[in-house]
Structure 1
């Protein structure tokens, strides 16, 4: 095989607690494992239609994301191929899922659509926590999610080699200031920072 044949894409917003699950999975994969050039790891964030080129150029597409399946928090569910757009659109949690559903539709319309797609989704526990991080039950789901991802890549013909020394956070797919370690170190506690939005504009109960 020559050129990139498989794209591993983490989507979501790391600033909204469990919404960052997908991005954190791809970040961890890159830090701990080394892949051949035909495998590309992408922090898709909330880029929406800007991800179209990555989808169009992939023969196989592996997606990590937080998905509202209506299951207990931390539950993983694997969805394949034609079912992926349906699950992304069934219970939209944020605009990034609407945007990525449109990316898949556009890729299909242009005739440049992956031969295989797999979505590894995790049921979130908390999303309304601006500046928060993954909840423990969702963070614990990362290890089995990564193993599912590695097994998927093996099934698709890609062997990952464990790094003797994990990559530094500055070398991760995420922006250095949003890498998990830096993000946790610089995040103020909830009692010092409003986690649900700008408190000047939040609805308040009338005072008596």
Structure 2
């Protein structure tokens, strides 16, 4: 679990050498809860900025949990972006590798999606279909209790560092990242067009129209003395 330590380059082909192995890039989390959407925003930005070889899959894993198991089992190499409570300063990145990833994701869970994805990784281990190499790039969130909120500035800045680390890793894995020459259509995007970062932020209603803390009809009230 060495923080931000680069890994050595390896052959990115199956043992038979006949075809490239699948490289899976997963962003997990919930974009509706501010910094909880860090992982999804990383994958979204990667797809918008780069093109990759045909054996690379970019997936908005959201909070799908066990539904992601087939992608993990089919991957030769797996890159995960997520917001995880490490107990560090907001925006600080940590990288975790290989068999340490499922144990680390279960240590300090922030939400149910982390429980589900930990089970995905453990199932892949038990079925002996665990990727040859796994890298988790996690970010310490600043705020997750803001429904409809977006990434806080310190986490948005960390996203840029996480992308640089991810692209470097993918390049060494043989993913062939190259600056995108053609803009994406809404159909091609890994995230729903309605939840794309720019649209999500620009169309957020004000606090007078959308409660940020919960429905006051179901919140305890103070007695008036």
State the TM-score, normalizing by the size of structure 2. 0.88
Counterpart for residue 118 of structure 2: 101
Measured in 2, the distance between the counterparts of 1:177 and 1:81 equals 34
1:159 CA displacement: 1.7
Shift of 1:43: 0.1
Aligned to 1:111: 128
Q: Which residue of 1 aligns with 2:163?
A: 146
Match status 1:71 vs 2:99: no
CA distance in 2, matches of 1:47, 1:105: 15
Indicate yes or no: 2:42 matched with 1:25.
Answer: yes
Distance, in Å, in 1 between the alignment partners of 2:100 and 2:132 is 13
CA distance in structure 2 between the aligned counterparts of 1:21 and 1:181, rounded to whole angstroms: 14
1:86 deviates by 1.8
1:58 aligns with one of 61, 75, 83:
75
1:182 corresponds to: 199
Q: Which region of structure 1 is more displaced relative to structure 2, 51-60 or 195-204?
A: 195-204
The answer for unaligned runs of 5 or more in structure 2 is: 1-12, 14-18
Secondary structure of residue in 2 paired with 1:69? coil
Equivalent residues of 1:16, 1:132 under 8 A apart: yes
- Larger mean CA deviation between 97-106 and 186-195 belongs to 186-195
Residue pair 1:4, 1:40 contacting (<8 A) in 2 also: no
- Asked which structure has the greater CA Rg, the reply is 2
2:103 corresponds to 1:81: no
3-state SS, counterpart of residue 144 of structure 2 = coil
How many residues are matched?
208
TM-score normalised per structure 1: 0.95
Separation (CA, whole Å) in 2 of partners of 1:202 and 1:6: 46
